[in-house]
Structures are given as structure tokens and as C-alpha cells.
């Protein structure tokens, strides 16, 4: 198992642990049921920052200001979540970056994917939301055709780190937590997102 695989597995486990807490589980389920995407984003941000902390990363995000780098921000590089590993240098490169996209628009989600793919990190994740499960294949296809294929084969093969999509869907809210969040990983060889 490589360090990158370990980070994905550890983050995923920590994320599930974070969203199982009574407070966050209730907030996410309620936000999903009422389609309150602002509340969904706030609760998801808390869960993601907590998961980063659990895997030993220091994360910065809206409502979670980090004073690690010489310039203190809640968001770096216009990314929703930027997480750093321990280190001695004042300017560190991110270990993980994440976009928490609450817009239902396919191009807005594509923009979030384009942003994370454009930044060097061991782990890149786009969290997004679909009202119904049957909307997911069209979204994944759109992201592949519009963003991943734009990189070309050489760009995909040279992409370091791992890129994940995490899609929450209201139609699976009755199976909250595990059925609610679907996880896909970009296969850089084929250019397709494969279900984890």
C-alpha cells in the first residue's frame, strides 16, 4: 500500500467517523432532506476539517482559519479546504485539497474538479450533491468529457496524487450514512471515474 492509498483509506474512514457524530449526522440529513445546500456545506466543512485532523493534517477552510503558513487565511488558492502535513518549512505544499460544491449545476461542479486537478496535492476531492441517484451517471460522464478529457492522455498520466469525487444524494438519505455518500476515483490510465 502506498502512502497515497493510505491517505485515501484513512481519510475516508475518518470522514465516515466524523459524519456519524450525532450533531453532524443530524445536520447533514436534515440539510439533505430540505435541500438546504448552505447548511449542507457548513456541516460538510466541519466533517471534512475534522477528518483531516484525524489523519494528522492541519486544514484550513471557511469557519476554520489556520495560522500555519506565514500568511493566515481561511481559504488558500480559492479552494474550500486545503490541508497540510507536519513539516518544518514555513511554506508547505498542500497534502490534500477539497472543493465542497453545493451548486447543482454540472458546469459549476466541473469548475470545482478543474480547480482541484490544477493544484499539486497527494489527495484531491470534490464533494458535490445530486437530488436523485439516477442523476449521478450523467454528472460523472459530464465531468469526464468536459474536464478529464481536456487534460489529454499525457496530462492524465502525469497527474500525481489521487482524485476523488464524493457525491451525496438525497434519494439515498434513508440509508444515511453509507448509502448517502458515493465515492469515485479517477483512473488516470482510462480517464474514467471508478466507484470505490
d(CA 165, CA 162): 10
Output the pTM of the full model: 0.92
Provide the 10 A C-beta neighbour count for residue 173: 17
Residue 32 confidence (pLDDT): 76
Which cell is 187 given?
Answer: 483512473
Residue 173 Cα distances to 25, 36, 98, 109, 158, angstroms: 11, 14, 23, 21, 37
What is the chain's pLDDT, residue by residue, as a tens digit (196 residues)?
Answer: 455 558 999 999 999 999 988 888 888 888 877 878 888 889 999 999 999 999 999 999 998 988 899 998 888 999 999 999 999 898 999 999 999 998 989 999 999 999 999 999 999 999 998 888 899 999 999 999 999 999 999 999 999 999 999 998 876 556 666 678 899 999 999 999 999 9
- Cβ atoms of 184 and 148 within 8 Å: the answer is no
Provide the 10 A C-beta neighbour count for residue 36: 15
Could you give the maximum distance between any two Cα atoms of the chain, in Å? 47
Residue 120 confidence (pLDDT): 96
Measured between alpha carbons, how far apart are the two ends of the chain, in Å? Answer: 16
Amino acid at each position: 500500500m502506498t502512502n497515497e492509498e493510505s491517505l485515501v483509506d484513512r481519510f475516508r474512514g475518518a470522514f465516515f467517523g466524523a459524519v456519524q457524530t450525532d450533531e453532524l449526522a443530524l445536520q447533514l440529513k436534515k440539510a439533505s432532506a430540505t435541500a438546504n445546500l448552505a447548511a449542507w456545506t457548513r456541516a460538510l466543512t466541519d466533517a471534512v476539517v475534522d477528518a483531516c485532523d484525524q489523519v494528522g493534517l492541519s486544514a484550513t477552510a471557511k469557519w476554520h482559519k489556520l495560522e500555519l503558513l506565514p500568511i493566515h487565511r481561511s481559504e488558500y488558492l480559492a479552494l474550500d479546504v486545503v490541508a497540510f502535513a507536519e513539516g518544518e518549512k514555513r511554506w508547505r505544499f498542500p497534502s490534500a485539497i477539497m472543493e465542497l460544491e453545493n451548486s447543482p449545476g454540472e458546469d459549476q461542479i466541473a469548475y470545482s474538479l478543474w480547480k482541484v486537478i490544477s493544484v499539486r496535492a497527494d489527495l484531491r476531492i470534490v464533494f458535490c450533491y445530486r437530488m436523485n441517484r439516477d442523476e449521478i451517471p450523467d454528472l460523472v460522464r459530464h465531468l469526464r468529457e468536459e474536464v478529464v478529457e481536456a487534460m489529454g492522455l499525457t496530462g492524465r498520466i502525469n497527474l500525481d496524487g489521487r482524485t476523488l469525487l464524493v457525491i451525496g444524494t438525497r434519494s439515498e438519505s434513508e440509508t444515511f450514512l453509507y448509502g448517502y455518500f458515493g465515492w469515485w476515483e479517477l483512473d488516470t490510465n482510462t480517464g474514467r471515474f471508478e466507484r470505490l
